[in-house]
Amino acid sequence: MEETDCLFCKIVAGEIPAEVVHSTERTVAFRDLNPQAPTHVLVVPKAHFANAAELAAGDPVASAELVTAAAAVAAAEGREDYRLVYNTGADAGQSVFHTHLHLLAGRSFGWPPG
């Protein structure tokens, strides 16, 4: 499933360039263009799902694989401590409506997040 006007679907399809750092059968991980930490990578499913809940319901294997892929990227970047963030919905900060997991590492993070 692909949305024709979805930015992340276009990255997955290779239509828009991105710095891809990891790829699996179901996922692609690429560097965020507006990094909020020294390591800021987005991990997305190759199939289009609007948000994390939709992905978990529609493809639970891919949902789990996003976390596994993020852990692999963190390890490859030499990061033992990292934060994983899903934003679901505009009020929560989601701006691209294709599920994406933010991997953030390389600095201290406060709690609660802003």
Residue among 48, 98, 100, 102 flagged as catalytic: 100
Low-confidence ranges of the chain (pLDDT < 70): 1-2, 114
Contact by Cβ (8 Å): 73, 43 = yes
Cα separations (Å) of 95 from 22, 92, 102, 107?
Answer: 22, 9, 13, 24
Residue 99 is predicted with a pLDDT of 97
User: For the chain, what are the domain ranges?
Assistant: 7-105
Rounded distance, CA 68 to CA 74, Å?
10
pLDDT of residue 113: 82
Q: What is the pLDDT of residue 3?
A: 73
pTM above 0.85, yes or no: yes
Question: What is the reported pLDDT for 1?
Answer: 56
Which superfamily is assigned to 7-105 in CATH? HIT-like (3.30.428.10)
Active site residue 100: yes
